[in-house]
Each structure stands twice: as structure tokens, then as C-alpha cells.
Structure 1
């Protein structure tokens, strides 16, 4: 069920569904982004790296987080705009075959000068299947306020 600005509370947390990162995800993201760095696309090269195998693009995993957050339904039709991504960190590699899920926590909410919207600041984290935080940062989004009855 979509949530409006008024429905969110500081400290509230939301967990997303999970999904497994596939080789197709990595190949498709390389094609869309143009990032064919061999750490992502060359299995033989990747064996010689500290990871020992190919890793998913960090921005691919960030993109997956945005999609997983959308699947919760909380922001369906109520997000007006993304305003900022703050202090985003790529903490651990995500490997092909890892299963990731996200968590969001409302850190701050503030009204704007326009009566139909507000701003949310959320801490977001991506976890792998072992419960390790692999990425984290803050999203700042503009969200619709609940329409007035009869509007």
C-alpha cells in the first residue's frame, strides 16, 4: 500500500524482498552502462584479483536496491523525485550468486514550502545472504503528502 509523507515516522524501518544477483544481471548492466571492466566481465582476469572471481558492479547493486525498495509498495506513486544520495559506501563485494536485500530507516522528515509534498531522509543498507552490510548510505526523496478529501 503506498505511503504518503504523513504516514512515515522517524525511526521506522522497512525491509525489502531479496533477489539473487545473476550472471545475466552483470552482463546486461555492463551493456547498459558501458562498464566492461574485467573485474566484472572476465572470469580469468578476475581470478587474479583479491576477490578471486568476478564481482557485480557496485552501481548494479545500488540499482537493484532501488527496485527492491519499489517492490515493497511503500513508495508506489508517492515519490515525486530523488534529490540526493549521500555518503554512499561500497563496503564489501557482491558476487554473482549472492542474494541481496535492502533495509531503509527513516532518519528525518521535513515539510516543504509546498503543501503537497515533504522530504524524507532515509538510511539505506544492502545486506547479502550472510547478513553482512555490503552497501550503505542515505537517500533523500521528495514524497507526496496525502491529498485533501475532495481534492
Structure 2
């Protein structure tokens, strides 16, 4: 499925099994420090190059939650549910598979895993499987996300 065909999907439009890939984003040192300031998480793994030289990573790594937030942001740029999203119902099965370093160029692969109507039938829930990939096509984070969507003609 092309990203252009996937703008503003209603529940009925979501093609189970289809995959999309987002544009890429190169993570900068300033991004990691801004996330640390925003979240108040100043652990030295994310902020202190001298400390990091003594770790298995050898240098600063991005926060895992920064990568997860970036997954949502890159996916949002696809405009899948620009006017049809009701709510995010949550993230599940989040796994941090490899570190994300400043300088990494990241993109997200999204697959529509399944969908089901809500109990009242007025809305639908879509389960997405997502992978955050670096410039070497390595999975650095994988997760599942549930989205509550409008149905055509629904309230």
C-alpha cells in the first residue's frame, strides 16, 4: 500500500496485512538532550559522554521512550488517521532491541495486524505492528499499538 493511498483511513478502509514505511529522520545530539530536558530524565547514559565511554555502548544513547515517541511521530506524518482517529488505546509488547545513537537515521515500518468493531459497533479498533529501523535496516524497537477509529457514517 502506498502512503498516499493511506491518508485519513476510516476503520472500514484499513487493509489488514498491508504495510507502509515512513519517511526517515536523523536523530541529533540536540534531540537527545531536548528529550532529557523535557522528560527530566538526565541519566548519564543519555547525557554524559565521559560516563558513556565506560559502558558497552561507548557513547551516548537515546532514551528508549524517545524512540517509541519518534515511532508515533513518524507514523503520524503519514496522516493515516488525520481526521478519523478517536484515541490511542495504548502500546503493548514494546521491546528495545538495540541502542539508538545520535546520528542514526530512523524510519518506521507499520503493518496493520488486525481490526475489530467495538462492542456497540459504532467504532473500530485497529492493531498495528511497528518496527523502528536504523540506517542498517536493524530493528531497534518493535511494538504493537491499538488505535480507536471512526467508522464511516459513525458519530
Sort the TM-score into its range (normalised by shorter chain).
over 0.9
CA distance in 2, matches of 1:146, 1:15: 25
Matched, 1:17 2:23: yes
- Aligned residue number for residue 89 of structure 1: 95
- From 11, 36, 40, give the equivalent of 1:34: 40
Which digits, 9 at most, give the CA deviation of each residue in 1:13-61, with x for residues without a partner?
1111110111111111101101000000001111110000000111011
Matched, 1:133 2:139: yes
- Aligned residue number for residue 13 of structure 2: 7
Instruction: Report the TM-score when normalising by structure 1.
Output: 0.94
Instruction: Report the TM-score when normalising by structure 2.
Output: 0.92
Question: Residues 121 and 139 of structure 1 are in contact (CA less than 8 Å); yes or no, is this contact kept in structure 2?
Answer: yes
- Aligned residue number for residue 143 of structure 1: 149
RMSD: 1.3
After superposing the two structures, state which structure 1 stretch, 129-138 or 114-123, moved more.
Answer: 114-123
- Stretches of structure 1 that go unaligned for 5 or more consecutive residues are none
CA distance in 2, matches of 1:75, 1:133: 25
How many residue pairs were aligned? 149
Q: Secondary structure at the match of 2:12?
A: helix
Tell me which stretches of 4 or more aligned residues in structure 1 moved more than 6 Å: none
CA distance in 1, matches of 2:14, 2:147: 12
